[in-house]
Amino acid sequence: METIGQLLPTTFYSKEKQTNTIWGIPAVTIKDEPAFKWRGYMLDVSRHFFTKEEVKDAIDFMAEVKLNRFHWHLSDDNGWRIEIKKYPKLTEIGAWRVNQNDKDENTSNWWGRPTQQPGEKATYGGFYTQDDIKEIVAYAKARYIEIIPEIDMPGHSLAAIASYPEISCSTGPFYVGTGGVVRNNTYCPGKEVTFEFVENVLGEVMDLFPFDYMHIGGDECNKEAWEVDLDCQLRMKEENLADTHELQSYFVKRVEKIVNTHGKNMIGWDEILEGGLAPNATVMSWRGEKGGIAAARQGHDVIMTPSRYCYFDLKQGDDDLEPNLGYAYSFLKDTYNYKIISDSLTTEQGKHVLGLQGNLWTESLRNWSQITYMTFPRLYAVAENGWTSQADKNWDDFTNRLLNQFKRLDQKGERYATSAYNARIYHTGQKNGSIEIALKTEVNGMDIYYTLDGTEPSLTSIKYENPFYIQNTTTLKATTFYKEEQIGNISEKTFPIHKAVGAKVVYNTPKITGAKETNKLIDLNFGKLNRGDRNWQNIRGNLDVDLIFEKLTDIQSLEVTSLRFTNSSVYVPEYIEIYGSIDGKTFTKLGEIKQLEASHTQGRNKVKSTIEFEKTQVKAIKVKAKSVNPIPEGHRRAGNASLILIDELIVF
């Protein structure tokens, strides 16, 4: 039926009632079969809860592209989402956390939220009743989709521990995680009560899902508590376990016996390889391909889902042109061209690779519009990769056919990303005070049109042919067309050609990365929302830098863009000061900006600081910036010194 739907006009998918319409399909014979039996999609409903109807929507768009495995991430540090009759506190307590979503859109602060405090009410969350689960299971079965439930353990388990502290190595108090930075989130494998809890919980879960697999997580297990916990140390001694990696393996192997007893096969993330793989386990390889290759060589079944190719929560385009969602990259072309079976495997070993899966973690995604934006069109790439043989794949053909899929999504009112079709703006600052601009697209065959006066580009604008230069402050806007139809969104960036370009830079700050090699702070190369962008100047400690002009220059403002990336100790300066000098020796303060609150805010974004003052003639300026030191209590890197990352000192 899905094949017939694919042959019908796009209006077939409209939410609006179609009248006076005759639909037809070509008279064809189709002989087709999938290359891989596992073609999956994972939805994380722990970080943010999504309703029963939204989960059904996910199943529907899987069915439309013939995906057949729905991996349902039902528990984590931030929420327990499935009713367990024997343990009611899992949904009374574990399904709810303090609501701090108001900060998400501005600073993407998932990795820097303060923990719940005594007296604060946990009001954000939700869960599925067992009747809800049965309804969704039946809905999926009717569409030939199997559901793989995941109850993450022994790590990523703070929601469970907050509900039943006796399964932890610590005494608490415990609260459901408000964001990504948590401690004491690991089950205690030294206690028998832990295995009793696991057996009872998994028993109820497996009874609800009449399919072959049970996913137990096993990833990113924080073993610090195990190193000092007396019960864990005794368990290691009794079982002759060399280290905590083997203790995790002991835990996973015991859990596998529970799963196998119920007639199911156990799946775990590739960390379950550490310390020795459970006898019958299937490995889901996410930290690259290495874990999957190792498991296949040992004769274990594998699902390939390396983050670079298969993580839908990663950005799919230019940092500055995408929503502030995701922290790395997974481009559509890479997802489509990913070779599922590594050339390093023999033919027999390759038979253990069951297929691939696209994973959508929802740390940054709290509404369905964001879910669909990050899912489409990469879900189509996963679907085609899992169905089509490597020899039959064609990137250009795929991206041409995607245009029709976009029209289907338009009919359904779904948000999606055109990132691969958008014009990407590349720039390189030149020593003569100009900037070289290049425009490119991930997809071939697009026509790029642009403007340099701030107006919206159209087919009557400048058609891009080759790189070009700008010599004055310019707002560039560009978009793409295919057969004279606009496909891409409008890409926009302002390039300030400022008065400090060409000045001599004197660093008075001792520890600055790259300072001796380049005048990064005045080279007209601007940093993107990316910690690894080489256009950021890394400053350890406070900034103290002089800019010496060739001649007396009138100035009246300083603009500084700082990167906030607090998960990596990168903080906005507490204050910035600018001083002016006529002779380059004696400096007078021209202005300052104090931003203590902004500097102590956690998150991931760029922050622009502007200092304006009376027009002043100077031969040199001095810029000082105070770093956050120490990082405040309650922050992930509390007690450490922060870094300052700035890209350009823009002087007008």
Instruction: Give residue-wise pLDDT tens across range 449-473.
Output: 999 999 999 999 999 999 999 999 9
- How do 302-304 and 353-360 pair as beta strands? parallel
pLDDT at residue 519, rounded to an integer: 83
Calculate what percentage of the chain has a pLDDT beyond 90: 83
263 has a pLDDT exceeding 90:
yes
- Per residue in 287-315, is it b (16+ CB within 10 Å) or e — as a string? eebebbbbbbeeebbbbbbbbbbbbbbbb
Which of the following CATH numbers is that of domain 422-495: 3.30.60, 2.60.40, 2.60.98, 3.30.450? 2.60.40
Cβ(639)–Cβ(631) below 8 Å: yes
Q: 69-73 and 302-304 as β-strands: parallel, antiparallel, unpaired?
A: unpaired
User: Tokens standing for 302?
Assistant: 């594998």
Return the pLDDT at 28: 82
What type of residue sits at position 379? L
DSSP string covering 527-593, please? --S-TT-TTSEEEES-EEEEEEEEEEEEEEEEEEEEEEEGGGTB---SEEEEEEESSSSS-EEEEEE
Q: What is the pLDDT of residues 335-357, one digit of tens each?
A: 999 999 999 999 999 999 999 99
Name residue, tokens 């642009």.
450
End-to-end, the C-alpha distance of the chain in Å comes to: 63
Cα-to-chain-centroid distance, residue 566: 16
Measured distance CA(92)–CA(474) in Å, rounded:
56
Per-residue pLDDT, 513: 64
Look at the pTM and tell me if it is higher than 0.85: yes
User: Chain centroid to CA 28: how far?
Assistant: 41
Give the pLDDT confidence of 79-101 residue by residue, as tens digits: 999 999 999 999 999 999 999 88
**What's the DSSP call for residue 603?**
S
Q: Averaged over 138-151, what is the pLDDT? A: 98
CA separation for the pair 21, 19 (Å, rounded): 5
Is pLDDT at 106 greater than 90 in this prediction? no
At 58 the three-state DSSP class reads: helix
Least confident span in 50-54, 57-61, 420-424, 530-534: 530-534
Q: What is the CATH code for 2-391?
A: 3.20.20.80
C-beta separation of 454 from 470 below 8 A: no
Which residues are part of the catalytic machinery? 220
Q: Tell me, what's the pLDDT at 6?
A: 76
pLDDT interval class at 579 (50, 70, 90) = very high
Greater pLDDT, 19 or 235: 235
List the Cα angle 496/502/506 in 5-degree steps.
110
Burial code (b: 16+ CB inside 10 Å, e: under 16) for 234-245 equals ebbeeeebeebb
Whether the CB-CB separation of 537 and 645 falls below 8 Å is answered with yes
Instruction: Provide the mean pLDDT of the chain.
Output: 94
Q: Quick one: pLDDT at residue 514?
A: 55
CATH topology of domain 504-651: Jelly Rolls (2.60.120)
Residue 287 has pLDDT above 70, yes or no: yes
pLDDT at 462: 98
Residue 198 pLDDT exceeds 70: yes
- For the chain, the domains span 2-391, 422-495, 504-651
pLDDT for 167 beyond 80: yes
Fold: same for 422-495 and 504-651? no
pLDDT in tens, 491-522: 999 999 999 999 999 998 776 665 554 688 99
Task: Give tens-digit pLDDT for 354-396.
Answer: 999 999 999 999 999 999 999 999 999 999 999 999 999 999 9
Structure confidence at residue 50 as a pLDDT band (50, 70, 90): very high
Average pLDDT over residues 163-179: 94
Cβ contacts of 72 within 8 Å, gap of 6 or more: 42, 43, 45, 55, 147, 148, 149, 150
Calculate mean pLDDT across residues 237-262: 97
**Model confidence at 594, in pLDDT bands (50, 70, 90)?**
very high
Q: Is the pLDDT of residue 400 over 60?
A: yes
Average pLDDT over residues 599-618: 95
